[in-house]
Amino acid sequence: MAEQRIGFVGVGRMGGRMARRLIEAGRDLTIYDSNEAAMRTLIDIGARRADSPAAVASSTDIVLASLPTPPVVQSVALGPNGIVEGKRAKVFVDMSTTGSIYAQRIAAGLAARNIAAVDAPVSGGLAGAERGALAVMVSCPENVFTEVAPVLSILGKVFYIGSKPGQGQTMKLLNNLLSAAAMAISSEAVVMGVKAGLDPKLIIDVINAGTGRNSATADKFPRFVLPRTFNLGFEVALLDKDVRLCLEEADALGVPMIVGNAVRQMLAITMASAGRNADMSEMVKPLERWAGIVVGEKRS
């Protein structure tokens, strides 16, 4: 039996790294992106170029996608020249973060053309995509999961969340809500400590040795805030989108999100002061300005 041919739509910062992993693993990969330059680097190492998502789906068996917003994902899946118009692919794997409502809508639209929809959002950022160390949160029928798991395992650790469309998306939103909350509250704690005269590196070291340790103190502060690089690679506007989707789902489920709404306010303040394209690690900056201090490694 011939090996499955894989397609990939959206080969930007995240998608490009995932696509490269697939090529390096020896997979036959056909790609499409609206940015020609993004495709060129992958074509140079063996990817095939397609002119549209439909063209990708006409020459491959499984199509993966990594795209910025829910409307873009829906357009790629169901719109003109979209996956739904492909002649060959029977599985569409969305690795973007869209929320469960869009995942359900896309699954229904593709089912009408006998194409199985898999929502498989990822966590781990650019570094995780580079190393093939992402957490991949998959929901789809079990027989489809069996088909896509070998491909997705090239990209990271695969978790089967459930069989219903959107369950993987819900899991991703919970993860990103916690990630945003950790960054927001850690920023408040560290800014307070520096204002009180404590060494910021020592603050982080003590927190990471105790019960306050979290993803922001363990990774984001040491790597991006203390050295003042702010280049984690995840825009605050995208995180705000994820938190908004999470709050909308929580509201639909009747689950109160008191802390979640406060986190969303902090994201709004960051975007207003630093810009929508600011790195999520820059959430500390408005607090620094209000406190009149700068968090950074103490230098002799």
172 catalytic residue (yes or no): yes
Question: What does the angle CA 41 – CA 36 – CA 25 come to, to the nearest 5 degrees?
Answer: 35
Q: Which of 52, 147, 54 is nearest to 93 (CA)?
A: 147
- 135 φ, ψ to 5°? -95, 120
Integer Cα distance of 275 and 264 in angstroms: 15
Determine phi and psi for 69, rounding to 5 degrees.
-135, 160
- Which residues, including other chains, have CB under 8 Å from residue 235's CB and lie 6 or more apart? 276, 277, 278, 279, 280
Total residues found in the chain within this entry:
300
**Set 90, 157, 172, 220: catalytic member:** 172
Of 7, 93, 107, 101, nearest to 58 by C-alpha is 7
Query: How many Å from the N-terminal Cα to the C-terminal Cα in the chain?
Result: 65
- Cβ atoms 104, 128 nearer than 8 A: no
Q: How far is CA 208 from CA 58, 165, 226, 299, in A?
A: 50, 37, 14, 21
Pairing of strands 48-49, 91-94: unpaired
Beta strand 91-94 with 116-119 is parallel
For residue 10, give the amino acid letter.
Answer: G
48-49/6-9 β-pairing: unpaired
**Tokens describing residue 216:** 């922001």
Residue 278 to residues 68, 187, 189, 222, 296, Cα–Cα distance (Å): 15, 16, 21, 18, 18
Which residues have a catalytic role annotated? 172
